[in-house]
């Protein structure tokens, strides 16, 4: 039985969304952040040696890392859904955004948070420039294609989704300047699977879709 351990207000909401898109039978366990430092509680940290979200359990397997979990679930349970075939013209685009999500986009956001946490008066220029380039690429791509995976929703959209929605609680640009990105957010928000996922993963919170 697949169990998704979800730390609220974290990227583990991606896994809940994926499970809902695939219509999987799974168990969801919710964890609240600590009141004193807003980090994961000790019981969540004990799930995996890294002590961070997300984490799943599946028939004795304990697995962390968003990308690894999404690839694992899609390969084991997806039956070819949400991943373009290698001969599809969408496949390279899908791969780029699937890996850009945590390889560059989220990583750059974490560098901004780290700089602010250490009291930096200004964000390092290379960090600011890299972040601006990423947002520009996102806006341009979504003006050319309806989804990050190309013509249809793919796991690339699920990987990118957190940074463009709930992740903006930790900072981000003025979305008024990103018309194409906001249109993508509206398409995502209309999906029944996304609505179900957010209702379960972030109860009481209005999804950040504008």
- At 13-29, the pLDDT tens digits run 999 999 999 999 999 99
Q: What are the structural domains, with CATH classification, of the chain?
A: 2-82+194-201 (3.40.30.10), 91-191 (1.20.1050.10)
Q: Give residue 107's pLDDT.
A: 84
Q: Give residue 108's pLDDT.
A: 81
pTM of the model: 0.93
What CA–CA distance (Å, rounded) separates 134 from 157?
15
Higher pLDDT, 102 or 106: 102
Inform me whether the pLDDT recorded for 80 exceeds 90: yes
Strand-pair partners of 2: 26, 58
Closest CA to 26 of 193, 188, 165, 208: 193
Q: Give residue 179's pLDDT.
A: 97
Whether 64 contacts 55, CB under 8 Å: yes
Higher pLDDT, 143 or 109: 143
110-135: b (≥16 Cβ within 10 Å) or e: ebbeebeeeeeeebeeebeebbeebb
What CA–CA distance (Å, rounded) separates 155 from 148?
9
Inform me whether the pLDDT recorded for 53 exceeds 80: yes
Q: Give residue 109's pLDDT.
A: 75
Inform me whether the pLDDT recorded for 127 exceeds 90: no
Confidence of residue 110 (pLDDT cuts 50, 70, 90): confident
The pLDDT of 133-139, averaged and rounded, is 95
């Amino acid at each position: 039985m697949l169990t998704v351990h979800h730390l609220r207000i974290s990227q583990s909401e991606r896994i809940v969304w994926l499970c809902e898109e695939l219509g999987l039978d799974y168990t969801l366990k919710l964890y609240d952040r600590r009141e004193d430092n807003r980090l994961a509680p000790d019981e969540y940290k004990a799930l995996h040696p890294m002590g961070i979200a997300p984490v799943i359990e599946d028939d004795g397997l304990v697995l962390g890392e968003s990308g690894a979990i999404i690839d694992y679930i899609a390969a084991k349970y997806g039956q070819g859904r949400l991943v373009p075939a290698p001969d599809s013209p969408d496949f390279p685009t899908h791969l780029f955004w699937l890996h850009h999500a945590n390889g560059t986009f989220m990583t750059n956001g974490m560098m901004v948070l780290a700089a602010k946490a250490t009291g930096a008066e200004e964000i390092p220029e290379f960090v600011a420039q890299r972040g601006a380039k990423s947002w520009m690429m996102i806006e341009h791509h979504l003006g050319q294609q309806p989804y990050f995976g190309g013509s249809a929703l793919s796991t690339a959209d699920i990987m990118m989704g957190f940074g463009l929605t709930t992740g903006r609680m930790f900072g981000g640009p003025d979305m008024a300047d990103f018309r194409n990105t906001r249109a993508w957010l509206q398409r995502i928000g209309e999906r029944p699977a996304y609505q179900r996922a957010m209702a379960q993963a972030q109860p009481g919170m209005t999804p950040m879709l504008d």
